Amino acid sequence: MARAATTSDAFNAIAEPRRRDILTYLAIRERQVGEIVTAVGIDQPSVSKHLGVLRRVGLVHVRRNGRHRLYRTNAEAIRPLHEWTASFEPYWQHALLRVKQRAEAKMKSKSESDRNTYKEKP
Amino acid sequence: MARAATTSDAFNAIAEPRRRDILTYLAIRERQVGEIVTAVGIDQPSVSKHLGVLRRVGLVHVRRNGRHRLYRTNAEAIRPLHEWTASFEPYWQHALLRVKQRAEAKMKSKSESDRNTYKEKP
DNA sequence: AAATTACATTCCTATATAGGAATATGTCAA
DNA sequence: TTGACATATTCCTATATAGGAATGTAATTT
């Protein structure tokens, strides 16, 4: 079987770097396609196609205004991705915690006299 | 041009749902391939191939132990994804705020009887 | 050494791109 | 109406899968 469609879900849609650029650009406020073209630096048909993918998975909203179309990032649709990645947060060590653990490991193997000593780099 | 390789970066690697399942399973502690096969419910060659992709982008670590290979999620490699999604956090409404806004909207149009109702999935 | 166990890799195929080029559609302006 | 402008869509092609089947490889046991 081939890879899943980019329109199957947000995870597939954001795999493409240009689409991430577009989402970042459209997060602050809505923009018309021409602005996206100059901002992201790819040609108009490509931008329209990427916008189509993003729209189909709900990552952007569109609004018509005359002959322009105003796109805006739907930040809510990024929340599930954020929550998935956040589920791994307990497993990565913050720099401070790592230092502490290293210090504690050292305490076990040596004396306890300097229990409160923090060594930045051994 | 075709789509970027799944091994090009973590964003592409996690586009595949089974790989996300594997990452979640391997986050808590290291497991041998056989355990992953039974846990995730796909056949062994597929699991090995997914593990290969995850390893190439650094999302898992491997360790050999006899005839077993012990895989473990490298949570650090998920941090960049987390940070990218977090950059959109200012643009979505926090749950508490949403509840408050919904409650206020409801107060205007209806009664206050169900103000504390919370819907987990909209 | 042979058999077994645990994984990885190769081969094959249907499918879904993503970009470029060309064209179509829709809207405003003169 | 005609033309200009803004955006979407279609057509074409090279490429990268992901799954299934079969096979290869390394370590352990008998």
Protein contacts of strand D with Cβ less than 7 Å away: A 1-4, 32-34, 37, 44-45, 47-49, 51-52, 62, 67-69; B 1-7, 12, 15-16, 18, 42-43, 45-46, 49-50, 53, 66-67
Residue type, B96: L
Looking at the fold, whether A73 and A96 belong to one and the same domain comes out as: no
DSSP state of A93: P
- Asked if A27 and B91 come within 8 Å (Cβ–Cβ), the reply is yes
| CA dist., res. A45 & res. A35, Å (int) | 13
Looking at the fold, whether B57 and B105 belong to one and the same domain comes out as: no
Looking at the fold, whether A71 and A17 belong to one and the same domain comes out as: yes
Residue type, A107: M
Q: Which domain holds residue A106?
A: 92-122
What confidence category does residue B87 fall into, taking pLDDT thresholds of 50, 70 and 90? very high
In this complex, is the C-beta atom of A57 within 8 Å of any C-beta atom belonging to chain B? Answer: no
Q: Is residue B3 in some structural domain?
A: no
pLDDT at B116: 34
Q: Is residue A3 in some structural domain?
A: no
In this structure, what CATH number is given to the domain that contains residue A51? 1.10.10.10
Count of structural domains, chain A: 2
CB distance A58 to A52 below 8 Å: no
Looking at the fold, whether B48 and B16 belong to one and the same domain comes out as: yes
Q: Which of residues 11-30 of A touch strand C (CB under 7 A)?
A: 15-16, 18
Per-residue pLDDT reduced to its tens digit, B58-85 = 999 999 999 999 999 999 999 999 999 9
Q: Is residue A103 in some structural domain?
A: yes
Q: Is pLDDT of B119 > 50?
A: no
* Helix, coil or strand: residue A69: strand
Q: Tell the residue number behind the tokens 């993003």, with chain if given.
A: A54
**CB proximity A31–strand C (7 Å threshold):** no
- Crossing angle of helices B17-28 and B33-40, in 10° steps, is 120
Looking at the fold, whether B71 and B25 belong to one and the same domain comes out as: yes
Looking at the fold, whether A69 and A24 belong to one and the same domain comes out as: yes
Per-residue pLDDT reduced to its tens digit, A12-44 = 999 999 999 999 999 999 999 999 999 999 999
